[in-house]
A and B are shown apart, each in its own frame.
Chain A
């Protein structure tokens, strides 16, 4: 099982490297759309990137619930902790 810190760090690293977000913008409450300026195209690519990086499947319904950086990390943490 991946540690919480590993997941948070991994999510942050992905947002920094692939979406060129500044590290200091990555607070748990940072809103993807309003604070990080990510739109629908970015959201689609973010899902693909998360699935690839963490080896998880994210349903569209669930993806729509994720509005902040913290919610992404929490979702991924739950997903990677699920028993196979």
Chain B
């Protein structure tokens, strides 16, 4: 079975689009959450804050591609370009059939759906419906556009399990490369802020309401006073390759994908169960051939909801006890839905490189199971990290990432001590 490594990363986030700057902002404890005035116009919606991507330049994508791309697809293409650039990937091989894509979003573009239904419901007409409407609405709009933009002719898959999308994408990519079906996969996820997205959480009383005066104070994962999700947006993309493929082309290896585990609670659509989360983590550890004692940091999904965070802390405590530091990055970025797993994986790569455990923003007091929750960034050599994502429907997806071992480190790769 082939070993799989990460050679490229790219992000589009509320804290910027340069991976190094985003990481630096996280270590400084910055937040991209701000007042989102559009929400106030929606009858019944009680949410007022979000974490939007600022200063994104769609014009950098040629119109021939952009005309059928939603915001989420453009975010993904931008992040993918950065990932390929960092990997110094041989772009001429993208059309070899040996490179695939696994990337997705929660749904197709909600903005495109809104445009369609505004015309259809208001006028009972499709006369003003653009030819590219469905290309933005379809659930595989993100990977299909990535294939088009970069000329990738291998397999294209589109996981759509909401908040677990990009962890699933990395897990599926891992299997595809391990089996030898492809040499490399562009994987990740993307989402765009929409009323549909945040209303989903608001109607089940899981969205954070108010905070117009202090938007950065939320979300507050694991904090006793946590009061719900803050919606975010963006894209995260990683280039995964077989170790031998990366070595053969002299690529700098950033980290290794050691294992992946998934499970389904199969018990409730929106209320999670610790048993299912625990199973995903344990399966990931088995797949990675790592014991809980070998894990140096757990990057939590924790979105700031009462039940979700408590259940996750309970599951994490059952697997790792109190010895392993645990933190959530949702306090910095809000919940970027399909993008969050890849975003967290990218930041875990940097955490391993630099030997820093990032802290959970907005966490002071906690009432969850007694996992170790650092309030400030913490110095620690990180060799193995577990990164979790959980989605509505009881979908649980856990990754194990490993620091690039020195025996196959590239010239400018991992440098952490």
| B-binding residues in A (CB < 8 A) | 19-20, 37, 40-42, 44-45, 48, 51-52
Contacts and interface: CB of A to CB of B under 8 A. Distances in A.
Nearest to A40: B131
B132 A19 contact: no
Contact residues of B: prevailing secondary structure:
loop
- Size class of the contact patch on chain B: 10 to 19
Name the 4 nearest CB pairs between A and B, nearest first. Answer: A44-B131, A41-B131, A20-B63, A45-B131
Interface of B: 63-64, 67-68, 127-132
B128 A45 contact: no
B63 A19 contact: yes
Given A41-B67, A41-B68, A41-B131, 13 more contacts: A19-B63, A20-B63, A37-B64, A40-B131, A42-B67, A42-B131, A44-B130, A45-B67, A45-B130, A45-B131, A48-B128, A48-B129, A51-B127
Contact residues of A: prevailing secondary structure:
helix
Task: Indicate the member of A19, A37, A41, A52 with the most B CB atoms within 10 Å.
Answer: A41
Contacts, number: 23
A48 B125 CA distance: 13
Contacts of A45: 67, 130-132
22 contacts: A19-B63, A20-B63, A37-B64, A40-B131, A41-B67, A41-B131, A41-B132, A42-B67, A42-B131, A44-B130, A44-B131, A45-B67, A45-B130, A45-B131, A45-B132, A48-B127, A48-B128, A48-B129, A48-B130, A48-B131, A51-B127, A52-B128
Contacts of A44: 130-131
Contacts of A42: 67, 131
A51 B130 CA distance: 12
B168 to A, nearest CB: 31
Contacts of B128: 48, 52
Nearest to B129: A48
Contacts of B130: 44-45, 48
Contacts of B67: 41-42, 45
A4 to B, nearest CB: 26
A37 B65 CA distance: 13
Contacts of B131: 40-42, 44-45, 48
A52 B125 CA distance: 14
Contacts of B132: 41, 45
Nearest to A43: B131
Contacts of B63: 19-20
A69 B64 CA distance: 19
Contacts of A52: 128
A19 B67 CA distance: 9
A41 to B, nearest CB: 5
A52 B127 CA distance: 9
A15 to B, nearest CB: 12
A14 to B, nearest CB: 14
